[in-house]
């Protein structure tokens, strides 16, 4: 009889864990938005600044709480708005006429700045920590607990 009680308790516990961790699309979007906000702030920091005009690309960094096509599926996207995105792609990747090379003004810091940021372990950890904190908050909310 004790085995049946333990078995039932374990099944109930597994069901509670599954219910608490199954996230709706809106909840998934909350989690990814937290990480996207961290990445957005980091992207603004590493975006090269123009010395030719005052409309800097760092002012055009955007975050949307949908996928790249605008579909709400739990994803979040960070990048540049349509006015600067193509320019920043050239800045990051170079072109046939604008090869990536060391410059006197920026050294090598501007070379592949987006790619380097995306691959940076420290930034990845901060994004994942923001996601984890938001996930904990959602699980606590679903279980009826407060923020601990």
Closest alpha carbon to 80 in 71, 68, 72: 68
Q: Which residues of the chain have pLDDT under 70?
A: 1-4, 20, 98-111, 145-148
Residue 95 lies in a domain: yes
Query: Which pLDDT tens digit goes with each residue over 37-63?
Result: 999 999 999 888 877 777 888 899 999
Residue 74 lies in a domain: yes
- The reported pLDDT for the residue numbered 79 is 92
- The reported pLDDT for the residue numbered 21 is 72
- The reported pLDDT for the residue numbered 23 is 86
Question: Structurally, how many domains does the chain consist of?
Answer: 1
Which structural domain, as residue segments, surrounds residue 89? 22-133
Residue 1 lies in a domain: no
Residue 115 lies in a domain: yes
- The reported pLDDT for the residue numbered 3 is 63
- The reported pLDDT for the residue numbered 106 is 54
Residue 3 lies in a domain: no
Residue 80 lies in a domain: yes
Residue 55 lies in a domain: yes
- The reported pLDDT for the residue numbered 48 is 82
Residue 104 lies in a domain: yes
- The reported pLDDT for the residue numbered 72 is 92
């Amino acid at each position: 009889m004790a085995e049946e009680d333990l078995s039932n308790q374990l099944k109930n516990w597994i069901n509670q864990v599954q219910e608490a961790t199954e996230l709706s699309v809106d909840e998934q979007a909350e989690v990814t938005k937290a990480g996207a906000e961290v990445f957005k702030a980091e992207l603004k920091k590493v975006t090269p600044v123009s010395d030719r005009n005052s409309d800097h690309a760092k002012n055009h960094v955007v975050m949307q709480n949908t996928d790249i096509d605008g579909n709400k599926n739990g994803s979040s996207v960070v990048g540049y708005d349509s006015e600067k995105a193509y320019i920043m792609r050239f800045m990051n990747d170079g072109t046939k006429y604008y090869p990536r090379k060391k410059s006197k003004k920026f050294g090598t810091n501007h070379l592949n700045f987006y790619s380097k940021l995306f691959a940076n372990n420290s930034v990845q950890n901060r994004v994942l920590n923001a996601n984890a904190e938001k996930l904990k908050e959602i699980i606590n909310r679903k279980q009826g607990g407060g923020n601990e």
